Amino acid sequence: MSQAATYAFAYHQLLVVIAGAVCLFGTWVGMRHFARARATSGTTRIGWLFMASVGTGVALWASTFISILALDPSLDSGFEPVATGAVLVIAIVACLIGFEIGSRHFTLAPEAGGLVMGAGILAMHFIAFRGWHIAGHFDWNIFGVVVTFLLGLSLSALAVNRANRPVTRWCRHGAAIVLAFMICAMHYALTASTSAIVDPSVVLPGYVIPAHILGLATVCAVLLVMGSGFSTYVIDLKLRTESADRIHQLSFNDTMTGLPNRIAFNERLAFDAAEAHEKAHKLAAFSIDLDGFKDVNDVFGHGAGDLLLIEVADRMRRMLGPGEFLARQSGDEFLGLQTSGNHPQDAQGLPSASLQCSRSPSGSTTSRSASPPRSASRSSRSTRPSATRCSAMPSSRCTGARASSAA
């Protein structure tokens, strides 16, 4: 093989790889949009179907022209502008109809949608060849044309089937891989079924788009559509993640104080009890309520009571140390967990800190290491936590012991 023939062969294969890569990445974005369309309804579903059709259609359009150019890159050739635009329209419409049918719920919906898409891809190739002008003419082999026809229909049906009936999470990636493989397989089938005969007497029309310019334009177009489609997908994914986080926050946290709620406490209690049993640790559980909280609501109103709960919760949250957990059950009642030592006195850290932080005036801060005051004046009717039902548990056993706060 001469050096010129070697370069021509390498250039041919490079164009085929580019066509497959353009189809792979473009249809991957489109299939992600198609998956979102299947999970939504109404106008949102229509919007996602349109985005999926545009992304997939543009990728198939660009890869089709690149694969045709790869048949004989050395030919002096060009494409009719009307045929080029018509192929793009057919690609988007075929994908839109195919995805719409494929997302339905009757038995062979994905396969029927894939056949519609495959028919559109075959029509794209036919019109693209009709609009491709070369300095010569083509000879066709009917056997290769039949093989191309079968490849287009069967692989398109398989691609939509994998996108609509995923067995694993990777099946949607498999749909894009199947479409990219289809473009490459159809190219080699066309290579075996056609041969270009150069005729110097044939002059290209002046209105055709030169092959190299169209090749660059298609690659730029598909990159633009891919970037837009991928950005849309990332934005939607971020919004869905934030919504899921918000739902989780509302499900496991108290909306007023921001502390974990009773559901979160029960899950943490089960986990810590199992861990304490496994590691032979002690686990202390506390129920903490506020003395005089009803008086605050009756005298100053529920708004002041809510502000008091928020302030107390914030103070106790700042006093938490390693191995401690605090949740709000309801009203003025809080629940706490603390990994403690083997002596019952070791479980006094959290309730003592709760009492200590409640005795500081509003707006001041207290330190966990600061010693509590020796006495509190009875004339100061401040509301403070009362730690009750403090129990130390080696695992799930609970030994009740009463702990009262100083008056």
CATH classification number, 262-373+380-401, choose in 3.40.50.720, 3.30.450.20, 3.40.47.10, 3.30.70.270: 3.30.70.270
Q: Where are the domains of the chain?
A: 3-249, 262-373+380-401
What per-residue confidence (pLDDT) applies to 103?
Answer: 85
What per-residue confidence (pLDDT) applies to 60?
Answer: 93
Contact call for residues 350 and 324 (beta carbons, < 8 A): yes
What per-residue confidence (pLDDT) applies to 122?
Answer: 94
Q: Flag residues of the chain having pLDDT under 70.
A: 1-2, 169, 171-172, 247-251, 278, 341-344, 346, 358-407
What per-residue confidence (pLDDT) applies to 88?
Answer: 93
What per-residue confidence (pLDDT) applies to 361?
Answer: 62
What per-residue confidence (pLDDT) applies to 56?
Answer: 92
294-348 tens-digit pLDDT: 878 788 888 888 888 888 888 888 878 787 888 888 788 888 888 776 666 767 7
What per-residue confidence (pLDDT) applies to 275?
Answer: 78
What per-residue confidence (pLDDT) applies to 401?
Answer: 34
Q: Around Cβ 89, how many Cβ atoms within 10 Å?
A: 13
What per-residue confidence (pLDDT) applies to 343?
Answer: 66
- In whole angstroms, give the CA distance from residue 95 to residue 35: 14
What per-residue confidence (pLDDT) applies to 87?
Answer: 94
Strand ranges across the sheet with 132-134: 132-134, 77-79, 209-210
